Amino acid sequence: MNPFSELGLADTFEVDVKALEKTHRDLSRALHPDRYVQAPAGERRVALERAVRVNEAFRAVKDPLSRAEALFALRGTPIGDGKEPKPDPDFLMDVLESREALSDAKGEKNAAAVAKLKAAAEANHERVLAALGAVFAKPEKPDESAVKLLGKLRFFRRFLEEVSDVEDDLDAT
């Protein structure tokens, strides 16, 4: 399934989230089961199936990571377990250092250090999103370096979730 075409959108990484939400709302209203109460069973089933596809497409396009994965797939670039290139050693070292620093900050209950790590991760996350936007702005099939960006995006997302958990723990104490 092409989530972009399911929503009537162009296959692009840059998405106007407010317009996407409006499109989803409009399609959801048009496909709502209440509109098909008097319709034949086949028509109700088709509308329900389409509503499910629209909801799945909306979730895929709204989320930048899922959107990138969909665009890689649409452009014939294999992604997923065992299909992606190994991360650069320098990036892996940065990952280890970031995780250690977060662990240290948590152990020391150092909210300022956590905030600093969060700000750095958010900035890196935004840089990766911008780089992916540039990749998908070109019509060519993405290369290995573009696929590595996907791995970085996954890391920064997970790391920011970990930071959020640490912030919650610090707020609770």
Residues 8-54: tens digit of each pLDDT: 999 999 999 999 999 999 999 999 988 999 999 999 999 999 999 99
Identify the CATH homologous superfamily for domain 3-62: DnaJ domain (1.10.287.110)
Residues 69-95 pLDDT 10s: 999 999 999 888 788 888 999 999 999
Q: What is the mean pLDDT of residues 127-156?
A: 94
Q: 89-172 architecture in CATH? A: Up-down Bundle (1.20)
Rounded distance between C-alpha atoms, residue 66 and residue 109, angstroms = 34
- CATH 1.10.287.110 domain extents, the chain: 3-62
- Evaluate whether 72 touches 142 at the Cβ level (below 8 Å): yes
Instruction: Tell the burial category of 138 from Cβ atoms under 10 Å away from its Cβ (0-12, 13-18, 19+).
Output: exposed
Q: What are the pLDDT digits (tens) for 101-134?
A: 999 999 999 999 999 999 999 999 999 999 999 9
List, by residue range, all CATH 1.20.1280 domains of the chain: 89-172
